[in-house]
Structure 1
Amino acid sequence: MQRPPVILSHADILAPGACAALTRAALTPARPALHGHDFYELAWVQNGRVRHHLPEGREDLVEGDVIFAGPKHLHGLQGRGADALLVSVTLHPALIADLGARHPALAGRLFWADAPAPLRLRRDSRQMAELNRAALRLERGRRDALGAEAFLLPLLCALTEETAPLPAEAPDWLARACAASRAPDVFHDGASGFARVAGKAHPHVSRSMRRFLDMSPSDWINAQRMDYAARRLTGSADSLSEIAAECGVPNLSHFHKLFRQAHGETPQRFRRARQRDVVQPG
C-alpha cells in the first residue's frame, strides 16, 4: 500500500518572525518520494540537471529553469549526475497572500495561478546572475517580510511583464515558451525559435497561440523583438542596423515598420526623445 506523501510545514523551516529561508541542496540520484508543503517554494537549478517528479509524470530541469510551487502541489526533485545543485526559497504563506492582496497585477500569475502543477519558467544567464545576487543578499540579510519582499518583488515585477496573461486552461508548455521567447537567442530565430522552445510542431503551436492569445507566433515574437529594441535604443549608442540584426530583423525597412507599429514612432525619434529627456528633461 502506497504511503501518503509527506507534507512539510513552514513552522519547521522558518525561524520565528521570518518570512523566507534559503537552502542550497546538492541533489542525489536516488528517486525521491513525492512531497507537499503548506508554504510556497521558489526554486531554481544552479548547476547540472534535475529531474522534477510530479503526480502526472516528470520533466527535466536544467540550469536557468525556475519553478513556482504552491501548497496544493506534490513534487519531488532528483539529481541527474554528480553536480546537481538546487537553490530553494521557502516563503511564508501569509507573505504570498499579502502580496497578492496588495498587487492586483499578480492575480492569476506565478504563485497566484490556479495551476495543477508547479509553474516552470526559463531565465537567461543575465537574469540568473541577477537572481543569484538577490538570493545572496537574502541569505546574508534580513528574512522578515521586508527582506523577503526586497528579494521577491523585482523578480515578480520582471516576470509579470514577460509572461502572457494566459487563461487557466492554457497548457504549461505555452506559458514556458512565452517566457523563454523574451530571450534574444530565441526571438532572433522568429517563429521557428518559438516552436523550438515550445518543443511542439509549428502547426500545433500556431493553433494554440490563436486559441489562447489570439495572435500568431510571429506576432508574439515581433512584440518581444520590438520591446527589446526599445530598451536597446534607450540604453545604448549602438546603430539601428546593429540592433535590428540582434532582433533577427536585418532588413531596416521592415524593422522600421515593426517598430512604428509597436511604439507609434520611428526608432530614431524614440531614441532621441528618451535619451534627451534622461540627460536634460524639458
Structure 2
Amino acid sequence: MSAQIEIRQYRGGGRHAHDFVQILFPMRGAMRIDIEGERNVVSNHRLAVIPEGHEHDFVPSHDCRLMVLDVDRSEIAGDLPASIVTQVDPFLWRLFNLIGDEIAADQHRAADAARLALTGLQLVKPVPTAAPRVDERILAALARSDESVAGLARRTGLGQSQFHALFRATTGQSPKQFRLRRLLDRAVDRLTGTPDPISEIAYDLGYQNVSSFNRLFKQRFGVTPSEFRAAGRRNG
C-alpha cells in the first residue's frame, strides 16, 4: 500500500494501531479520538493525523462520515501536522470536501483523489522544527491549572508577564487558552459520560451563562454541546 482513500462510517472503536499513517477528514458529524492518551475531538475544519504505530481509539457520533487517507509515511513530503487534531484553513477544507464528493460519486477516481489529498496535506501547517522550550516550574503549574494566573505566577515565583511568556513557550498556548481547552475537554467527558443537563455542565465549569459556553464549544468543535450529545445518543 502506498496511498488509499475512501469514505467511511464508523460505529465504534477498539484500541489498535496501524503500520501506516492514517489521516481523518470529517465530512459530517464529529469523532472523539484518543491517540496514545492524547484526546481531542475531530469535526468540521479539523483533520486528525494518526502516525504509524500509535495506538488509538475513537467514539464517533451517529452521523459521523469521514474521508480516510491511509498512506505510507514515505509518501508524505515534509513533516506531518503538529497535533493529532489540526485546524485547516477554509480554502483547504473546501478542497478536501471536493475530493470527498468526487470519491463518493465515483470510487474509481480514488487513486487521483489520494494524490490530490496528499498535495493539499503539504499546505497544512507543519510541525515546528524547533522543540518547545520546557520550564519545570510551568510543568508543575499545569497540575494546578484551575488556579488563577496571578496565583500560579506567585506560586512559581515569577511575575505575571514572565509567567505568561514561559507558559506559552512550554505549552504553545497562553494560560487562558490552555484553561479553555481543559474545560472543554472536561465538558466533552460530561456530555458523553453523564446525563447531566448542559446548563449544569456549563455552570459547574465556571461559565456565567449557557450561551457563552455553547459559543466557545462550537468554536472549538464545530458543533454545539446539544448537537454533540444528540449525535452520541443516536450512536448508542
TM-score (norm 2): 0.49
Task: Between the two structures, name the one with larger relative contact order (CA 8 Å, sep ≥ 6).
Answer: 2
